[in-house]
Chains A and B, each alone.
Chain A
Amino acid sequence: MNQTAHQPLSFRCLTTVWFLLLILTGITVGVARYDLGAINVWAALGIASLKASLVVFYFMHLKSEPRMLVLCLFVALLTLATFIGLTFFDVLYR
């Protein structure tokens, strides 16, 4: 096996991640039943981000990829956040 391939993750590890994802889905559905005003959206986004990072780091093996790739993902997300954020300087103050 060449050195650029990563160790296969065990079935147990993957299944645990899946189980966590199910629990988080339950939580996000549960939270949505209570009206917390603006907090609802942020809670939904927060839980979704948590789920997304589980998928990214375990299912997509980012944990065992070079750190450079993690940095690149960060750049991509930062770019998206900036695009949305700067647009709000227009939308909120118009």
Chain B
Amino acid sequence: MTMQPDALGARIGMWLFLFSELLLFGGLFLLYAVYLARYPADFAAGGQQLDALLGTGNTLLLITSSLTVALALSALQQGRRQLCQILLCATIFASLLFLTIKGVEWQAKFAHGIFPGGTELESLPVGQQIFFGLYFVTTGLHGLHVLVGAALLLWTLGLTHRGQVTAENSVMLENGALYWHLVDLIWIFIFPLYYLLL
């Protein structure tokens, strides 16, 4: 008796793992909710200092990369391996671009003295200090997930190239894509909560 590969089982496992990722970020959203209720004015003031343009750009980038990875899976399952690889490359490229934009954004904040221990940050009202603290922790953790997701997709790309991920055995790409969509999902909530506050 040998174990049959179980694609649905593998997907269920990935989903369960994603639930735990959801709860991981959930802790941060809990803090956000509490502090928003406590310092609404400071959070609005903090939100206005974030660059909504860059934030919107990053949102579009992640949504599009979510599309390309979903397309890559469909392409693979239709037997169009070449197209699948191109779409995966596009996704990985988008993730790097996302991180670059994020870096530019953080850089700008640092230049204004908004970093831990920075003079500017320490002189802000306490509510704004909390806002920026949460902002850095949340986007930092999210950025880490972007990095992990990109690495996962890069590995899958290699496996696809070597013919180990195929239309019949696509579970690795399915799970990589699931992970990538989660990264997108989290951002869908981070974006309005941090960048679009009035």
Using a CB–CB cutoff of 8 Å, the interface residues on chain A facing chain B are 1-2, 4-5, 8-11, 14-15, 17-18, 21-22, 25, 28-29, 32, 35-36, 40-41, 44-45, 47-48, 51-52, 55-56, 58-60, 65-66, 69, 72-73, 76-77, 79-80, 83-84, 87-88, 91-92
Contact = CB atoms under 8 A, between A and B. Distances in A.
Contacts of A10: 74
A88 B74 CA distance: 43
B168 A29 contact: no
A41 B7 contact: no
A51 B12 CA distance: 22
A25 to B, nearest CB: 6
A48 B19 contact: no
A32 B56 contact: no
Interface in B13-40: 15-16, 19, 22-23, 26, 29-30, 33-34, 36-38
A9 B67 CA distance: 12
B22 A80 contact: yes
Given A8-B77, A10-B74, A91-B37, A25 B16 contact: no
Given A9-B74, A11-B74, A41-B36, A84 B59 contact: no
A8 B26 contact: no
B63 interface: yes
A65 to B, nearest CB: 7
A22 B60 contact: yes
Contacts of B74: 8-11, 14
Interface of B: 6-9, 11-12, 15-16, 19, 22-23, 26, 29-30, 33-34, 36-38, 52, 56, 59-60, 63-64, 66-67, 69-71, 73-74, 77-78, 167-168, 170, 177-178, 181, 184-185, 188-189, 191-193, 196-198
A79 B23 contact: yes
Contacts of B168: 1
Q: Mostly helix, strand, loop or mixed at chain A's interface?
A: helix
A25 B67 contact: no
B15 to A, nearest CB: 6
Contact of B23 (A2, A56, A59, A76): A76
B198 A8 contact: no
Contact of A32 (B34, B67, B73, B192): B192
B165 to A, nearest CB: 13
A58 B168 CA distance: 21
22 contacts: A1-B168, A22-B63, A25-B63, A28-B192, A29-B52, A29-B196, A32-B198, A48-B192, A59-B70, A59-B181, A60-B177, A69-B15, A72-B19, A76-B19, A77-B22, A79-B23, A80-B29, A83-B30, A84-B29, A84-B30, A88-B33, A91-B37
